Chains A and B, each alone.
Chain A
Amino acid sequence: MTAGKDSPHDLLEAIGGAPPADDCIVAAHDVHKYFGRLHVLKGVTLSVNLRETVVVIGASGSGKTTFLRCINHLEKIQSGRIFVNGHLIGYREQNGKLVEDRERNIARQRAEIGMVFQRFNLFPHMTALENIMEAPMRVRGVREAEAREMAESLLDRVGLAAKLDAYPSQLSGGQQQRVAIARALAMKPALMLFDEPTSALDPEMIGEVLEVMEELAHEGMTMIVVSHEMGFARKAADRVVFMDDGLILEEGEPEAVFANPQNQRTKDFLSKIL
């Protein structure tokens, strides 16, 4: 798939082009996270630049999904800082301490961050179109006609123009995940987070979802993808990050990391999945 900036299927065109922003979209410094006594993130530091696609790999339990969920504050952190677009996520600083922000502010920040879940999490009581229109209308106050137009155009571009009025239960897994991507894009996010977007899919449906994601990456969306799809990482990622036991152990260009991993843990992990 070779969708360039001027591809006729321009996904970002549907939402009015890639968002303008500072160069550094995500800056995470020394993030620590505990589940009770379990120390799951042990000082994660990562920055992601505008238009960059970062793929996070690592064994299950390495903390990669937790880290992703911290970026839009679906998980609290115990120390460290996460900035998205220059804004501290989920917290205010008071005398050097982190105090959780008001819900309204957190919601406003989340609106700028799209998220795609492993299990799609489409709203089952709404059609594909309604799933996409809901947040722009209720959160952003977009008028119905406008929201509908955008939703139709987004569904068209993820190849589901014929499924506007289908309920999630009437769609295949791959189709549902494409609707979920369109739903997240409808908020015109500055950043897209993908949490193992293909691991709940039947093998024959993985391709159609990855295709949409590759296209999105090529069009310049800033993306963080937790995934084991090495093919996707090779084709679309600017950087691959390897996490193990709550830490980032290695990062670099996909080819470099895959062909010549420096860390022994990375070598072990890659030898198991490649």
Chain B
Amino acid sequence: MSASPAHRTRRAPLLAGFALLALALAACSSSSQVGSYQYHWEYFWRSIFQPDARILGGLWLTLSISVTSQVLGVALGTFAAIGKLAALRPVRMLAGFYVWLFRGTPLVVQIVFFFYGLSATRIYRWPDLNLFGLSIPGEVQAGIFALGVNEGAYMAEIVRAGILSIDAGQMEAAKSLGMTYPLAMRRIVLPQAARVIVPPLGNEFNNMLKTTSLLVLISVPELYYVFNTLQGQYFAPFEFFLAAAVWYLLLTTIWGLIQSRIERRLSRGVAGAAEVGPSLRERLFGTRLGGAEEPSPVSGGR
């Protein structure tokens, strides 16, 4: 085998996977030793292939909270980005303050502050909400709010970079055709900026899927909360936390596939843009040789 360095790097994730599997098997085989951990692999397999209502409920919450928070974050981030680029100084300062505040404080603090802080003082008690026959508990609302507002601060920078990457001539051309600033933004600049925004946005949502686990702090029964409860109940942390990891991995993998489809669609009309996104194999096991020369999607040269 001609094992060039490039080859080796490309296969590294795959090899690492095999190593992990071997380690797990080795660990299993030692289970007979006295005083050692008793493995209950059936807990693991059942959590994956026959998930009960609790797990499915957690899955649903994780997914729905992630999507809602991300949508909120993108909306807030877009407004904040436009605010930061505004001609009026007070608007710029307001947007800057928002980003400064929510990027400068820990998400964990924001989550508990918004839920416990606001409800204990009765500033806002997060009453349950009924929306289209769907009951949304207060802690879920608080969780979505905290995650969304926090995400907005990060999205603001991403969207701003996206807008700045678009040639000023586009806005001028739109204006010269009689378009107002909001219309030109919505129809001309943002759709083009989206192509630059989507790759980092994909990262953000990938993060969001996992960050929802912090809502365990305010007792939102999302995926992590459920598995944390299960492991305590059956005293099987290895099996249940491993299963939790597999579920999160499944979510982020599916998202990765969706993202590459979106990116492909957005490259419409762009000279030199890849016609196809990364393949499944590339998504799963890494693509770039060495990985060092991957351009940053925000500041990158596309």
Contacts and interface: CB of A to CB of B under 8 A. Distances in A.
A177 to B, nearest CB: 12
A114 B169 CA distance: 15
Interface residues of B, number: 23
B187 A134 contact: yes
Contact of B180 (A103, A113, A126, A167): A103
B192 interface: yes
A115 interface: yes
Interface stretch (A43-51, A117-125, A149-157, A215-223): A117-125
A262 interface: no
Nearest to B269: A167
A117 B268 contact: no
A139 B192 contact: no
Given A119-B169, A167-B268, A111 B192 contact: no
A137 to B, nearest CB: 10
Given A103-B181, A169-B269, A110 B172 contact: no
Given A119-B169, A121-B169, A125-B269, A135 B177 contact: yes
B176 interface: yes
A110 B176 contact: yes
Nearest to B176: A115
A239 interface: no
A184 interface: yes
Nearest to A110: B178
Interface in B193-213: 195
A44 B78 CA distance: 41
B268 A139 contact: no
Interface string B112-145: 0000000000000000000000000000000000
Contacts of A125: 191-192, 195, 268-270
Given A121-B169, A121-B173, A169 B271 contact: yes
A21 B180 CA distance: 25
A95 B188 CA distance: 38
B177 A110 contact: yes
Interface in B171-185: 172-181, 183
A121 B174 CA distance: 9
Contacts of A111: 177-178
B173 A139 contact: no
Contacts of A127: 269
Interface string A54-85: 00000000000000000010100000000000
Given A124-B192, A138-B187, A74 B176 contact: yes
Nearest to B175: A110
A180 B173 CA distance: 9
Interface string B46-77: 00000000000000000000000000000000
Contacts of B180: 103-104, 107
Nearest to B177: A135
A235 B172 CA distance: 30
A107 B188 CA distance: 15
Contact of B179 (A117, A119, A138, A170): A138
A108 interface: yes
Contacts of B177: 110-111, 134-135, 139, 183-184, 187
Contacts of B187: 134, 138
Given A117-B172, A119-B169, A139 B269 contact: no
Contacts of A115: 173, 176
A186 to B, nearest CB: 9
B170 interface: yes
A103 B175 CA distance: 10
Contacts of B173: 115, 117, 121-123, 180
B175 A74 contact: yes
Given A74-B172, A138-B187, A168 B178 contact: no
Interface string B210-229: 00000000000000000000
Contacts of A117: 169, 172-173, 176
Nearest to A137: B187
Given A121-B173, A125-B192, A168 B269 contact: yes
Contacts of B195: 125
Counting chain A CB atoms within 10 Å of each CB, the highest count among B172, B174, B178, B191 belongs to B178
Interface string A131-171: 00011001110000000000000000000000000011110
A104 B271 CA distance: 34
Contacts of A74: 172, 175-176
Nearest to A118: B169
Nearest to A130: B269
15 contacts: A74-B176, A104-B180, A107-B175, A107-B179, A110-B177, A121-B169, A123-B188, A124-B192, A126-B269, A135-B174, A135-B177, A139-B179, A169-B270, A169-B271, A184-B177
The 4 lowest CB-CB distance pairs between A and B, nearest first, are A111-B178, A167-B269, A169-B271, A121-B173
Given A121-B172, A138-B187, 20 more contacts: A103-B181, A107-B179, A110-B176, A110-B178, A111-B178, A113-B176, A115-B173, A117-B172, A119-B169, A123-B174, A123-B192, A125-B192, A134-B187, A134-B188, A138-B179, A139-B178, A169-B271, A170-B271, A183-B177, A184-B176
